[in-house]
């Protein structure tokens, strides 16, 4: 019995440590990312994002068309408050995972693909790619990995799905840092 109790305490402690490490990074929001990602020398990523439907993804959930689609799916809550809609139209996270500057209304933003940025947002970390990745920045090794991420939302599960042509759409939102 004594060993069972010790094992239980060990499991609880390990769970707390792992959970604390995961919960460490918070979503800081596009307004935090924008100041450093506006400049041409870093690829004007913010400007590219602003011109995409991703920037308007949450707003799309507030339209009469979204209400109609939701109703057709048997959803009784507003689309902008429905978890299955928010799953692809915004970052869906618990309040404890959101920094004070994060705004769900900013839609599909930087951290949707690159992960919560509180630990890698500083200039000192972002200047060093290895440090950024170690601090939680999600990096994609190739187009196949990017396509897989895109297709986590752009798929037939969506009630408004249209054929997703990665090779056609990716160049329109690609936002690499110039060499």
The confidence band for 140, taking pLDDT boundaries of 50, 70 and 90, is very high
Query: Which pLDDT does position 28 carry in this prediction?
Result: 97
Phi, psi of 98 (to 5 degrees): -110, 130
The confidence band for 178, taking pLDDT boundaries of 50, 70 and 90, is confident
Greater model confidence, 162 or 10: 162
Q: Please name which of 55, 81, 57, 78 lies closest in space to residue 160, comparing C-alpha atoms.
A: 57
Coil, strand or helix at 68: helix
The confidence band for 1, taking pLDDT boundaries of 50, 70 and 90, is low
pTM metric for this prediction:
0.81
Pick the range with the lowest mean pLDDT from 18-22, 73-77, 128-132.
18-22
Mean pLDDT of 37-59: 95
Mean pLDDT of 29-47: 94
Asked if pLDDT for residue 21 goes beyond 50, the answer is no
Mean pLDDT of 108-136: 95
> What are the DSSP E strand ranges found in the chain?
none
Q: What is the CATH number of domain 27-173?
A: 1.10.1130.10
pLDDT, averaged across the chain:
88
Non-local CB neighbours of 93 within 8 Å, separated by 6+ positions: 27, 116
Provide the residue ranges of all domains of the chain, joining segments of one domain with +: 27-173
Query: Which pLDDT does position 7 carry in this prediction?
Result: 41
Non-local CB neighbours of 60 within 8 Å, separated by 6+ positions: 53, 66, 89
**pLDDT tens for residues 55-90?**
999 999 999 999 999 999 999 999 999 999 999 999
CB of 159 closer than 8 Å to CB of 61? no
The confidence band for 2, taking pLDDT boundaries of 50, 70 and 90, is low
Give the number of residues written for the chain: 179
Q: Which parts of 24-63 fold into alpha helices (H)?
A: 30-33, 45-50, 57-60
Query: Which pLDDT does position 174 carry in this prediction?
Result: 93
Asked if pLDDT for residue 6 goes beyond 90, the answer is no
**Percent of the chain as helix, strand, coil, to the nearest 5:** 55, 0, 40
Please give the Cα distance from 113 to 84 (Å, whole number): 18
């Amino acid at each position: 019995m004594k060993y069972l109790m010790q094992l239980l305490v060990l499991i609880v402690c390990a769970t707390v440590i792992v959970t604390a490490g995961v919960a460490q990074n918070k979503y800081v929001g596009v307004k935090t990312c924008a100041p450093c990602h506006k400049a041409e020398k870093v690829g004007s990523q913010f400007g590219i994002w602003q011109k995409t439907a991703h920037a308007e993804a949450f707003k799309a959930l507030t339209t009469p068309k979204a209400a109609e689609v939701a109703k057709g799916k048997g959803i009784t809550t507003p689309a902008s408050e429905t978890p299955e809609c928010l799953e692809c139209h915004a970052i869906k996270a618990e309040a404890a995972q959101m920094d004070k500057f994060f705004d769900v209304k900013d839609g599909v933003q930087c951290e949707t693909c690159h992960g919560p940025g509180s630990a890698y947002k500083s200039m000192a970390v972002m200047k060093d790619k290895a440090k950024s990745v170690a601090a939680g920045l999600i990096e994609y090794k190739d187009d196949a990995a990017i396509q897989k991420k895109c297709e986590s939302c752009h798929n037939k599960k969506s009630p408004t799905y249209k054929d997703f042509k990665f090779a056609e759409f990716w160049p329109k939102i690609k936002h690499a840092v110039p060499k």
